[in-house]
């Protein structure tokens, strides 16, 4: 139907030798968590480190080399649309991800014979192979703006509340794949980078909530502010549409213990992200049967208790 998305988690222990991949179904957004990816495309090469993301548009052939050895990470795939910068609205011209920080490759080519070179093509959700005797990376030059590119997440300029209340995570959108309905995303790529928290009289971690979006979270490095235990780099969580979720018990209790008069606090050494969509994902059988599935995840909320107290009501006597 050319409308939808998929989320994958990848592991790789070997470079692609004498072969290339092409996705005829949609665009890839690749988020390495461990180990660099040296990606060769028909437009040139991209060196993508953990902390960077790479976008490979639909139809491009590419090859991945592992210069640091084994690699793992996350991939979002969108169908029927492309990733773009979000509308900044009242923010204006500056902030979030700046167009100047997205890097496209310099043209690079090779004119070599490669007997038995294999092209693996994803088409209609299935994989097909074709054999040729030359490199697909024989494009001498290119022009235009339909091109693979990369972005360094440390370049992101985050926005946050400066007085009270908690901002919606969409304020940290790096890229969005929109739908035809304004304000409703097919898939948003949102990050939670190092930043200052300064809100007064506010529960600063993400609120306990449920909403119309399905939220897939991953962690590139460090810790996530709302999960003290169990959420590790390379792991992931999925909270589907209208599924209640929020900070774990330890995060909640430590926040409450600090009281209302908390000074500015900087979150450091962290890079979490979220793939957020208005569409509900269907979980693959392999994911449900994975030996790494955390069947005790719900226990992070065991022990939550209310700290609400009813203020004492004062009786005021009036004359009749």
Residues forming the active site? 166
Q: Give Cα 53 to chain centroid, integer Å.
A: 9
Q: Is 215 annotated as a binding-site member?
A: yes
Residue pair 62/21 in contact by the 8 Å Cβ criterion: yes
Residue pair 174/191 in contact by the 8 Å Cβ criterion: yes
Written as one string, the DSSP assignment of 252-317 is HHHHHHH-S----EEE-SEEEEEEEESSPPPPPHHHHT-TT--TTGGGGGTT------PPPPPP--
Separation CA 96–CA 204 (nearest Å): 20
C-alpha distances (whole Å) from 147 to each of 26, 43, 106, 187 are 14, 7, 11, 20
Q: Is 245 annotated as a binding-site member?
A: yes
Helix, strand, coil shares, percent, the chain, to 5: 10, 40, 50
> Which residues belong to the annotated binding site?
209, 215, 224, 245
> Which residues belong to the annotated binding site for Fe cation?
209, 215, 245
> Which residues belong to the annotated binding site for homogentisate?
224, 245
């Amino acid at each position: 139907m050319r409308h939808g998305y998929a989320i994958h988690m990848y592991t790789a222990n070997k470079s692609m030798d004498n072969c290339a991949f092409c996705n005829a179904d949609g665009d890839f957004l690749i988020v390495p968590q461990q180990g660099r990816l040296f990606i060769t495309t028909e437009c040139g090469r991209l060196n993508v480190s953990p902390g960077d993301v790479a976008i490979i548009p639909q139809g491009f052939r590419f090859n991945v080399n592992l210069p640091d050895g084994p690699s793992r990470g996350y991939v979002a795939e969108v169908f029927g649309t492309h990733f773009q910068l979000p509308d900044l609205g009242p923010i204006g011209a500056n902030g979030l991800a700046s167009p100047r920080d997205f890097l496209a490759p310099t043209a690079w080519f090779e004119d070599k014979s490669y007997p038995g070179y294999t092209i693996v093509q994803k088409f209609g959700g299935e994989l097909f192979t074709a054999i040729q005797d030359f490199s697909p990376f024989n494009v001498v030059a290119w022009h235009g703006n339909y091109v693979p590119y990369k972005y360094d997440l440390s370049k992101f300029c985050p926005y946050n509340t400066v007085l009270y209340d908690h901002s919606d995570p969409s304020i940290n959108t790096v890229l969005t794949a929109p739908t035809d309905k304004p304000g409703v995303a097919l898939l948003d790529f949102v990050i939670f980078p190092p930043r200052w928290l300064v809100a007064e009289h506010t529960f600063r971690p993400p609120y306990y909530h449920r909403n119309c979006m399905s939220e897939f979270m991953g962690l590139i490095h460090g810790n996530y502010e709302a999960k003290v235990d169990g959420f590790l780099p390379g792991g992931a969580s999925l909270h589907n549409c209208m599924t209640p979720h929020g900070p774990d018990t330890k995060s909640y209790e430590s926040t409450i213990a600090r009281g209302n008069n908390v000074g500015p606090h900087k979150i450091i050494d962290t890079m979490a992200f979220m793939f957020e969509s208005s569409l509900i994902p269907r979980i693959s059988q392999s994911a449900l049967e994975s030996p790494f599935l955390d069947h005790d995840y719900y226990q992070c909320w065991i022990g939550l208790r209310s700290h609400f107290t009813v203020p004492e009501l004062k009786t005021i006597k009036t004359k009749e």
